Each structure stands twice: as C-alpha cells, then as structure tokens.
C-alpha cells in the first residue's frame, strides 16, 4: 500500500478515528514494547533540513511547487537527502525491522507532507511508512495516532523521535484539544493515552525518555539525523524482551 498524506480531518478532529476508538479497552500488550513509531523528518530521518533548504532557495507556495523544488534540487540525487546510499540502506533495514516486529511507522513533520512523501518514495522508503502528517503541535498528532487504532495505546507503546526537544513537552496537549473544538469530556475520554505517564522522567544515557503522553527519543542535532546506533536502539524498542524466555528456562 502506498504511503499517504494524512489530512487533518482524518487524523484529528472531534469526529475522527480517535473518538471512534474511545470505547475500546486499553491495549493489553507487553510493557515498554513500542507499537507506534512517530518520526520527525528534517534532521531525523533526513540528513538535511529539507524544508529550510528548499524554502530559502525556491520560496515554494503550495504542494505542487514544493515537489517541483525538491525535484529541481534533488531529482538526480534523491539519496543525498538522507545522507547517501549507505545511510538509506541503514534506514531501510531499521524500518523493515520495525515493520516485521508488528509496529507501525508514521512521519509527523512541521514541513510539507507532499514534499516529504515525494522524498521518501523517491529514495525507496515510502512503503515502510503508514503515512505522513503535518498536524501540529506534534503532541496532538501523536495522541490522535495512539487513539485512532484498533486499540488504545498506552504511553509506553508509542514513541516520538525528534531532534527538537520542544516537540516532546506534554503540557500543551489539553489546551490544544480544547482550542480545536473538543469538549472537556472528549479530552478526558479520547485526548490522553489509555495509561498516562504523569510526568517527564528525564533522559537515559541513550537519549530515551518519557513525556506526559508517550515515550520520546532525542536525536542529537550534530549527528544530522539518526545514526546506526540510534537505529539499533529504536529497533530494540519494538522488541519484547520477554518473548521466548520460557522456552529457554
């Protein structure tokens, strides 16, 4: 199935999938096994800040002109957006592993979804993502994705992977929902994870932490995107460490 751009009306609205799934029970899956990976694009998946680069050089104004700008700049060298062939191969291996473990990957960007989709598809990575959205703030997009499934995910079953820590803060979620037309009752039922992390828990040595709504993975800006070690840690987040232990007892 080709990767799609997810309209706001589908992803996140008072009549969207998050509301429709609200009557479902919380997921009963194993603790700390991530089922939903929400990736930032610029300087996370991409090795460059594609949005700023194209905006400064071409001043595109709509989806078509953004795609045209991307093709003018990278049409003959699409893998360079992601750091070249070797890094694209690493990304594909990482994303394929996530998919094989039963998890879903989505791009949550502040850029232009049509342009992001074009870059991923052209680099041969598009089939590994369920979709791309620019619904912001990102906290709200992640919450909608967590609740808009066959089950309501707990905070430990979703992760936002980003190079900008400002996107990890959870305190804006409730106010943003109310401003978007939700009622207090809707926020209570649908606007939080099935099981909520009450406070941030800081950062471990590997850049993994917890916000008020999901797990978070910080990408160091100076790396210009996820490196091989980051990708291995991300794959491990989708693995059930207890699986198969009884067989070896």
The model's pTM is 0.84
Contact present, 119 and 42 (Cβ < 8 Å):
no
Give Cβ neighbours of residue 183 (< 8 Å, ≥ 6 apart).
Answer: none
pLDDT in tens, the chain (249 residues): 456 666 655 554 545 555 555 566 778 889 889 999 999 999 999 999 999 999 999 999 999 999 999 999 999 999 999 999 999 999 999 999 999 999 999 999 999 999 999 999 999 999 999 999 988 778 778 887 887 667 788 888 999 999 988 787 655 566 666 776 667 776 666 566 655 555 544 444 455 666 667 888 999 888 899 999 999 999 999 998 655 433 333
Contact present, 88 and 82 (Cβ < 8 Å):
yes
User: Please, what are the domains in the chain?
Assistant: 4-241 (3.40.50.1000)
For residue 244 the two structure tokens come to 């198969």
For residue 212 the two structure tokens come to 């008020």
Contacts of 75-78 with CB under 8 Å at 24 or more apart are 75/122, 78/119, 78/122, 78/123
Cα atoms found within 13 Å of the Cα of residue 198, Cβ hemisphere only: 0
């Amino acid at each position: 199935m080709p990767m799609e751009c997810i309209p706001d009306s589908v992803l996140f609205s008072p009549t969207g999938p998050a509301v429709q799934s609200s009557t479902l029970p919380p997921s009963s899956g194993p603790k700390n096994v991530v089922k939903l990976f929400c990736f930032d694009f610029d300087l996370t998946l991409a090795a460059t800040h594609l949005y700023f680069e194209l905006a400064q050089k071409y001043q595109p104004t709509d989806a078509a002109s953004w795609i045209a700008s991307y093709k003018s700049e990278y049409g003959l060298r699409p893998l360079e957006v992601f750091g070249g062939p070797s890094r694209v191969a690493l990304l594909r291996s990482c994303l394929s592993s996530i998919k094989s473990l039963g998890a879903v990957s989505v791009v949550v960007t502040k850029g232009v979804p049509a342009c992001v989709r074009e870059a991923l598809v052209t680099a041969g990575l598009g089939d590994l993502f369920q979709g791309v959205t620019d619904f912001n703030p990102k906290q709200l997009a992640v919450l909608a994705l967590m609740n808009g499934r066959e089950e309501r995910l707990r905070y430990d079953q979703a992760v936002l992977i980003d190079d900008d820590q400002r996107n990890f803060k959870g305190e804006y979620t409730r106010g943003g929902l109310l401003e978007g037309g939700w009622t207090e009752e809707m926020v209570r039922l649908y606007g939080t994870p099935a099981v909520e992390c009450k406070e941030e828990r800081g950062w471990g040595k590997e850049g993994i932490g917890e916000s008020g709504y999901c797990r978070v993975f910080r990408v160091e800006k100076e790396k210009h995107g996820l490196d091989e070690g980051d990708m291995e840690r991300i794959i491990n987040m989708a693995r059930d460490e207890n699986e198969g232990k009884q067989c070896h007892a």
